[in-house]
Structure 1
Amino acid sequence: MTELTPANENPWYILATICGEFERHVPNSELLAQNRRMWNGWACSGMSDEHRKSIANKIGLPIEELAELEIEERMQLEAAFRDRVPEGIAIPLPKDQVALSKTLFSNTVIFNKYVFAGSASIADCIFEGGADFSSCYFCEFCNLGGTEFKSNAWFEAATFCGPPSFNSAIFLGANFTSAEFGKMTDFGKAIFSHGADFSNSVFKKTARFNRTKFAGAAPKFFETVLHQDTRLSTETEYWPPVSEGDPQDSIEAYTRLRQVMNELQKPEEEHFFYRQEMRWRVKGASGWKWLLLVLFQELSEFGYSIARPIYCLTTLLIVPFLIYLVKFNWDEIVYETYHTKFESIALSFASIFKIFGFQGLYFDSKYMNGLHPALQFLSGIQTILGFVFLFFLALGLRNRFRLR
């Protein structure tokens, strides 16, 4: 593993905390305001008043907070910077890339309402304390790929104008509520250990969640606007097992994901989230409702499997066929009653597919009334179960081939 640089040795972090660092989990609103004013005044220097006003309105700050630093503020910033960095390192330019990659952040990091005028590289870092990027404004590309957040990470109401990358990032818990993603967003291979909240967010362009692992709880996408080209993994290994999480919360989260996929006209993903929802409904059910849901799950995988109904129909054909065969052979030996060679398999087949009229065509009521009552009962059971299994088969074919 690549050795990480302590945050207080990184010029960019020093500039972002020029008035002082936060102790872990001990926020200080006055210190935050001082640090933010210095950073935003420096970052927004050279911006037009119109652009500055637009950003200020977006992140909820007075436009004066984004004004260029006064002479005294500039002198204060330069003096504090010289005190904390080795000699010869100059203050970065606002349009330079914010180079925070491969940095170890031991304390709580609060960049609330910070403006990143250039691109930002915060990749392959470790945040041991909380990381607060809420209401941040990223003007260009932002890379947080491979970064590990060992405590909660907040990106609430953050604005990503460029294409952000969270590829292979590891989150303990993540809050992206009301965030805005203006370009293609990549969460591929990311891990959310305790769930993620994307409620009320807007994805204006492609969103990639390929092989993204959601553990602990299903992600929340309530009132989220997703682009048509949104991709979510449909393998159960990337979603929390039914043993983890609250049943009602999980049902609501998967119901919303199913609705989103329906709106995006993605039937395969829609039915996957339907199956996920139903698994949680099984866990939360009891009595007859639980039994019916379990049968629906085991016999047809909630209307998605084709193989399971076929296996059931095959078993329903073969087992009674063997019973008919044994009984007819016994009748021939004991009662000298003759039966044709294929009568037992034909009767089993006709009983299953009675709905198509085979039984009435080849085995009239006189024949059926002449059978032993146990065989009549078995034939009736075949008819009932045959209808059920055929329904599940038709349902599986419909869902697999996306017939509407």
Structure 2
Amino acid sequence: MTLHDEQKGELIDRVLHEKNRRAWNAWSGQTLSAEERAAAAKSSKIDVAELEAWEDLSEEIKARFAAEYRRRNPEVGTVPDLPKATRLIDMSSTYFANTLVLDGFVFASEASFILANFMRTARFASATFMSATLFDSATFKLDALFDTTTFRRDVLFHSATFASDAMFEAATFVQAVWFAFVTFRQSAEFDYTTFTQDAVFVEATFSSNASFDSATFQQSASFSSATFKQDAWFASVTFTQDADFCAATFAQNAQFKSASFSGFAYFTGTRFGSSTEEPCIPDFSDCLFEKPTSFRQALFCDGYPDFSGAVLHDKTSFTARMKPTPNEIKRDKDLKGRTFWPQKTQQDPVSARESCATIRHVLTQQGLPEDAHFFFRREMHFAGLPSEDCAGLSSEGRSKERSFTERLPYLLFGWLSDFGYSIQRPLVWLLCLWAFGGAAFWGYLASCCVPAPPGVVERPMGTAMALSFSNLFPLFGFGRGALGEILDEMPPVLQVLSGAQTVLSLPLLFFLGLALRQRFRLR
């Protein structure tokens, strides 16, 4: 790799690099077939002649190898033969002190960088690995550049550490790739990357921004238990098969705009947001979900997912309640003290209301009225919010903001009946209305508040309560007869109160009936 010497300093000596690359590719290409050479030359962006030059350069390379070996190992007497190109390229536990430039290199046989330490920048841009490649537990202290690199066999980065930027933009993984338990401490770039087989990022940690924009996953993609501590970009990504984000954590921005999910998508137990200064509003706008997607037990800490323009499968599942059950907390202690949906949010209320309406529509199609009504209540809640309760309201949100008089019906709907769901609230309001009217009537009839008029006989409290009750249920005709005569004899203020009781009781009775219907309707 460094037959003509290593790179020195920060600046790359391109002439030196080209000499090293030509020598390496001539040696490596001797074992490849004509078809493999053509494919490798294309992916490495080199002239195929570099891979066919072994016969012409072999003597020169062997002589150079012997001279360099003696120079670098003066204490060794015998120079070993040049390694065979078919053997394992074993650089396990190698300490790379200088900048490593392998742009355009072709690795014909299996290469192992297990436990290797790259102390300076490691460049593999446009390199081609024809056989399995192992970077298990490798450490990249500075930038690791794998732009447009092609891996034609399995690749393992298991437990590797990228202390600086990791660039895999437009890379191609023809076989399976494992980034399980990898730590990315700085930016991780996988834009336009193609994963032809399974891509495994299980329990990977992205400490800075992670970008997979326009990447293609042709087989399953697993990000289960992965942690994205800053922005995660999956815009316009194509998931041809299953996409697994179970138990993953998105601390800040989770961007899936225009992504396409052709297989099953799993966001079960995924956590969006961490109550940091930067709220996490998952963006699934314009996404296409062709198969069922699971958002069961997903934690939306800061806001409701944006599904504007998205096409959701009819069997998409959501957890339609605020708090985890004791059994769920017992199985997962991290759920303790958390809620599946935020009580308060800085999100644009217009966007939140539309998202709740989208979810409600999906659950209604599934015949889940109880779950659908949960999101209906959240939808009505956002409809009654003033803009000042939501910081950062967009211009579109401000233009759609309702005045207080427009929001008042929603507020009353919530206060009096929890948007048609609570049986207790309208009953309590009816009880208060009945007690207040009964007390007023009893005060008059018992002459404790005003003197009884001539000819009026004081009646017990039961009569006052009965009169108040009859006002609440006029359809039953309780106000006819003696109770009606008593009401006719009362002062105008009490007659107005009686009429107000009747008027106010009607919406409360409607809300009560609405809640009873919701609770006991056929499922």
- TM-score normalized with structure 2 length: 0.57
**Is the counterpart of residue 91 in structure 1 residue 133 in structure 2?**
yes
Report the equivalent of 1:216.
302
Q: CA deviation at 1:145?
A: 1.3
TM-superposed deviation, 1:195:
1.1
Match of 1:105 in 2: 184
- Contact 2:289 2:311 survives alignment (8 Å): yes
One-letter amino acid of the structure 1 residue matched with residue 473 of structure 2: F
Amino acid aligned to 1:363: L
Amino acid at match of 1:396: A
**Aligned equivalents of 1:158, 1:295: Cα separation in 2:** 44
Q: 2:497 aligns with which of 378, 382, 390?
A: 378
Paired residue type of 1:342: G
Q: Give per-residue Cα distances to partners, 1:104-125, cap 9 Å, x unaligned.
A: 1123222223232332221111
How much does 1:264 deviate?
A: 4.6
Q: Using the alignment, how far apart are the partners of 2:506 and 2:316 within structure 1?
A: 39
Corresponding residue SS for 1:363: helix
Is 2:290 aligned against 1:204? yes
Asked if structure 1 preserves the Cα contact closer than 8 Å seen for 2:447 and 2:458, the reply is: no
Q: Does 1:182 align with 2:266?
A: no
Q: Aligned partners of 2:319 and 2:191: how far apart in 1?
A: 32
CA contact (8 A) 2:416 2:426 kept: yes
Secondary structure of the 2:107 match is helix
User: In the TM superposition, what is the alpha-carbon distance from 1:209 to its structure 2 partner?
Assistant: 0.8
Task: Give distance in 2, aligned partners of 1:282 and 1:230.
Answer: 27
Which blocks of at least 5 consecutive residues in structure 2 are unaligned?
A: 1-41, 52-102, 117-130, 135-152, 155-173, 274-279, 323-338, 387-401
Cα distance in 1 between the residues matched to 2:260 and 2:447: 76
Q: Could you tell me which residue of structure 2 aligns to residue 55 of structure 1? A: none
CA contact (8 A) 2:306 2:352 kept: no
Instruction: Give the equivalent residue in structure 1 for 2:354.
Output: 252
Change in CA separation of 1:234 and 1:66 when aligned onto 2, cut-off 3 Å: farther
Return the offset for 1:136.
Answer: 2.6
Write the mapping of 1:294-373 to structure 2, written as runs, cut at 5 A.
294-330=411-447, 337-339=457-459, 342-360=462-480, 363-364=483-484, 366-373=485-492
Q: 1:137 to 1:282 in 2, by over 3 A?
A: same
C-alpha distance in structure 2 between counterparts of 1:360 and 1:81, whole Å:
98
User: Cα–Cα, structure 1 residues 108 and 333, in superposed 2: closer, same or farther, change >3 Å?
Assistant: closer
Indicate conservation of the 8 Å contact 2:303/2:345, yes or no.
no
Deviations 1:53-85 (A, max 9, x none): xxxxxxxxxxx8799x97968982428995955
Listed as ranges, the gaps of 5+ residues in structure 1 are 1-63
After superposition, give the CA deviation of every residue in 1:86-113 in whole Å (9 maximum; x if it has no partner): 68x9526347642211111123222223
| Residues 101/305 of structure 1: CA separation in 2 closer, same or farther (3 Å cut) | same
Contact persistence 1:78–1:91 (CA under 8 A): no
**Corresponding residue pairs, total:** 338
Q: Which residue of the partner structure matches residue 240 of structure 1?
A: 342
| Aligned equivalents of 1:393, 1:361: Cα separation in 2 | 28
CA 1:399/1:104 → structure 2, altered by over 3 Å: closer, same or farther? Answer: same
Matched residues in 2 for 1:330 and 1:399: separation?
45
Q: 1:209 to 1:117 in 2, by over 3 A?
A: same
Partner in structure 1 of residue 204 of structure 2: 125
1:149 maps onto 2:228 in alignment = yes
Q: Does the CA contact (< 8 Å) of 2:227 and 2:249 recur in 1?
A: yes
Structure with higher Rg: it is 2
The offset of 1:252, in angstroms, is 3.3
Task: Name the aligned partner's letter for residue 489 of structure 2.
Answer: G
TM-score normalised by the chain length of structure 1? 0.72
Q: 1:314, 1:185 → 2: CA distance?
A: 49
1:158 partnered with 2:237: yes
2:76 aligned residue:
none
Distance 1:164 1:90 in 2: 24
**More off after superposition, 255-264 vs 277-286:** 255-264
Aligned pairs (5 A) from 1:389-404: 389-402=508-521
Q: Partner amino acid for 1:395?
A: L
Percent identity, aligned pairs only, is 30
User: 1:211, CA displacement in angstroms?
Assistant: 1.9
Aligned counterparts of 2:48 and 2:247: Cα–Cα separation in 1: 41
Equivalent position SS for 1:360: coil
CA distance in 2, matches of 1:209, 1:341: 57
Which of residues 213, 219, 244 in structure 2 aligns to 1:134?
213
Give, in angstroms, the shift of residue 389 of structure 1: 0.7
Q: CA deviation at 1:165?
A: 1.7
Once the 2 structures are TM-superposed, how far is the Cα of residue 146 of structure 1 from its aligned partner? 1.4
Is 2:361 the partner of 1:281? no
Amino acid corresponding to residue 91 of structure 1 in structure 2: T
1:358 maps to amino acid:
F
Pick 1 or 2: higher relative contact order, CA cutoff 8 A, min separation 6: 1
